[in-house]
Amino acid sequence: MKKILVTGSTGFIGNELATVLFKKFPNYEIIIFGRKVKKWNSDYVKQKLKFFDFNKSKFNKYNNFDYIIHCAALLDNKGKYDWNQYYKNNVLLLEKIIHYINFKRLVFISTGSIFSSNTLNPNPNNYYGLSKFLSEKLLEIFSVNKKKQIVIIRFPIIIGKNSSSSLVDYFSSYIIKNKTIEIYGSGKYKRNIMHVDEAVQIIIKLCFKKNYKSNYEIFNAGSSNSMSIIDIANLTKKTLNSKSKISKVRKVRRANYDSIININKLKNAIDYKPLTTKKSIIKFLKDKYL
């Protein structure tokens, strides 16, 4: 019997992932960790959740997993948290997991926030992205020293019925009420956005993939294309049949660059036919509002 650990299972991605795992793999031993139940968590998560405080709980109670899928993280919250909080929750927590829990393969959920421009080289410009990049490097060193399989997946903006803090969440929350939405600058910069159902599909396929070329693999995930911010706003407005106005304001955003993602390596590794950003947004809006 395969044994799987999912951390962060009460979070947005973790909840969806754990729910699908319980449904698709009833014969696997699936253990899910989380800190706080949310009202929108699935019945599977609410019933199976094991509350685990990595600062106090004994790690030796849970060991020898075939797979660990590490979704737990302190997310980017527009300057709400300081570096010590990101380091403690995102880097030190990961260090404890790989030090105390034995496993064969670990799938780490990373982010496009490790980039600060449309370049191939990581260069984070916020604490969240920095903590994720340090975590990636920590895992790289660990995989070399311990000869363990590490799979890193860098996701772009992910949306779904239970998402709350993305660009599309902001637009739709105003547009559904016919309120004016603000777009910084011209709205020309492009964003890659994918639906959480697609993200879960990728995680599961990479987790259970039979063989990898090396012990340390990184995959950039995303939809099949990117859309400009202004087009995303107009698409949301049109789909929701709203009378909202779109106002362009003179403010400088931190992410003044295009998010263009090359997902060729991912498509070569697994059977994955990505949706477009447009279809992902429409699917999200229908699930949540229509």
Task: Tell me how far apart the alpha carbons of residues 74 and 127 are, in angstroms, rounded to a whole number.
Answer: 10
C-alpha 182/C-alpha 266 separation (Å) is 35
Distance CA 139, CA 98 (A): 8
Class of the domain covering 167-191+226-261+276-288? alpha beta
Enter the tokens of residue 171.
């637009």
Task: Say what the alpha-carbon torsion angle 148, 216, 73, 87 is, to the nearest 10 degrees.
Answer: 90
Query: What does the pLDDT read at residue 242?
Result: 96
* Among the listed residues 163, 170, 195, 172, the one whose alpha carbon sits nearest the alpha carbon of residue 40: 163
Helical pair 12-24 and 196-207, crossing angle rounded to 10 deg: 60
When mean pLDDT is compared across 117-121, 138-142, 187-191, the lowest value belongs to 117-121
**Residue of higher predicted confidence among 1 and 66:** 66
Residue 286: pLDDT band with limits 50, 70, 90 = very high
CB neighbour list of residue 84: distance below 8 Å, 6 or more residues apart: none
Mean model confidence pLDDT for the chain: 93
User: What is the pTM assigned to this prediction?
Assistant: 0.96
pLDDT confidence of residue 254: 67
Domain span(s) for CATH 3.40.50.720 in the chain: 3-159+194-220
Kindly report, residue by residue over 186-198, the tens digit of the pLDDT.
899 999 999 999 9
Q: At what angle do helices 229-239 and 167-175 cross, to 10 degrees?
A: 40
The whole-number pLDDT of residue 257 equals 82
For 264, the enclosing helix (H) or strand (E) is helix 264-269
Q: Does domain 3-159+194-220 have CATH number 3.90.1300.10?
A: no
Mean pLDDT, residues 253-263: 83
**Model confidence over 145-180: pLDDT tens digits?**
999 999 999 999 999 999 998 999 999 999 999 999
Nearest-5° angle of CA 180, CA 182, CA 185?
A: 145
Does the pLDDT of residue 118 top 80, yes or no?
A: no
Determine the straight-line distance between the first and last CA of the chain, rounded to whole angstroms.
41
User: Where does CATH 3.90.25.10 sit in the chain?
Assistant: 167-191+226-261+276-288
State how far the Cα of 35 lies from the Cα of 15, in Å rounded to an integer: 12
Q: What was the pLDDT predicted at 241?
A: 97
| Separation of alpha carbons 108 and 218, rounded Å | 9
With CA atoms as reference, report the closest residue to 281 among 219, 241, 250, 239.
239
CB atoms within 10 A of CB 159: 26
Q: What is the per-residue pLDDT for 35?
A: 85
- pLDDT class of 58 with cuts at 50, 70, 90: low
**Measured distance CA(205)–CA(230) in Å, rounded:** 33
- Residue 79: φ, ψ to 5°: 85, 10
